[in-house]
Amino acid sequence: MYPTEPLQTLQERFKKYSPPTNIHVSQRASVLIPIFEKNAELNVLLTRRSTKLNSHAGQVSFPGGREEAFDTSPQETALRESYEEIGLLSSQVTILGKLDQILSRNFLIVTPVIGVIPEDFVARPDPIEIESVFHVPFSFFMQEENHVIKEFKTKRPYLSHHFYFEGYDIWGLTALLILRFLEIGLGYVPEYPVHHPKASTWMELSISFREEHTQELEEGWTRT
């Protein structure tokens, strides 16, 4: 039922959804969550970063990156980076809305922008940044046998979610945003816990974070 949710219904849900914004952090980034319908099923487009990069090498991610001084909005950042990374034109994207901001491990506040792209879009990945581009049906993320959860009992304990798809490990920020998209857009909440019961949710952490908290948070995440 959930994966065949009409795009019009998603548009209505995200039009009404207005997550809070952290305006206190200067280091910012945006990602595009590109979705499309194929064979009457909702899919998401993902990338695997080049293994030669200095940051997040080889990880699965959404197209996106750091905000530049000339960007006028998080949406502009997400669209600019998507064109640079995979050749997606802004004219090919219909923006539905935004998800909750999320704090990255290098302490950037990341704004996720949701956009519908053509089913027949053919990616032209930048070989310097992107190793591959692939898509996954959202139904895959709703099958709990495809999910692995790992608990890290640090000073600030947290859960790490992993989805294994055709040799790709979809985890970290990307996995959390997919789970949040499923919840807000499709009304799907898994039976397993998304957040660690002894810590604040990642949404709460992202909104309350200030740059002077960086060292404390870094120490709290350190694995012993």
State the pLDDT at residue 66: 95
State the pLDDT at residue 88: 98
> What is the mean pLDDT of each successive set of 10 residues along the chain, which is 224 residues long?
67 93 95 94 94 76 96 97 98 97 95 97 95 96 96 92 97 97 95 96 97 90 72
Q: What angle do CA 9, 35, 32 make, to 5 degrees?
A: 115
State the pLDDT at residue 50: 87
Give dist(CA 33, CA 177) in Å, integer. 9
Q: State the alpha helices, DSSP H only, in 89-158.
A: 138-141
For the chain, the domains span 2-212
State the pLDDT at residue 54: 64
State the pLDDT at residue 5: 62
How many Cβ atoms are within 10 Å of 192's Cβ, its own excluded? Answer: 12
Q: What angle do CA 141, 146, 148 make, to 5 degrees?
A: 105
State the pLDDT at residue 56: 65
Q: Which helix (H) or strand (E) holds 184?
A: helix 172-186
Distant-in-sequence, close-in-space partners of 28: CB < 8 Å, separation ≥ 6: 66, 67, 74, 77, 108, 109, 110, 111
Distant-in-sequence, close-in-space partners of 31: CB < 8 Å, separation ≥ 6: 61, 62, 63, 64, 65, 78, 81, 110, 111, 112, 113, 177
CATH superfamily membership of 2-212? Nucleoside Triphosphate Pyrophosphohydrolase (3.90.79.10)
State the pLDDT at residue 1: 41
Distant-in-sequence, close-in-space partners of 168: CB < 8 Å, separation ≥ 6: 46, 48, 60, 134
